[in-house]
Amino acid sequence: MEAYGSFADTQWSSPSGRHHDAVKSFHQISPHVQTHLQQVYLTLCCALISSAVGVYLHLLWNIGGLLTTLGFITSIFWLLSTPLYEQRKRVAILMSAALFEGASVGPLIDLAIRVDPSIILSAFVGTAVALGCFSAAAMLSRRREYLYLGGLLSSGLSILLWLHFAASIFGGSTAVFEVELYFGLLLFVGYMVVDTQEIIERAHLGDLDYVTHALTLFTDFAAVFVRLVIIMLRNAMENDKKEKRKKRS
pLDDT tens for 89-118 read: 999 999 999 999 999 999 999 999 999 999
Number of domains the chain is built from: 1
Answer whether residue 156 is part of any domain.
Answer: yes
Give residue 154's identity as a one-letter amino acid code: S
Say how far apart CA 204 and CA 32 lie, in whole Å.
8
Answer whether residue 108 is part of any domain.
Answer: yes
Domain ranges, residue 58? 14-248
Answer whether residue 49 is part of any domain.
Answer: yes
pLDDT band at 21 (very low <50, low <70, confident <90, very high): very low
Answer whether residue 66 is part of any domain.
Answer: yes
pLDDT at 28 over 70: no
Are 226 and 108 a contacting pair, CB within 8 Å? Answer: yes
Report, as an integer, the average pLDDT of 73-90. 96
Answer whether residue 45 is part of any domain.
Answer: yes
Of 24 and 71, which is predicted with more confidence? Answer: 71
| Residues 126-174: tens digit of each pLDDT | 999 999 999 998 888 876 677 677 878 888 888 888 877 777 777 666 7
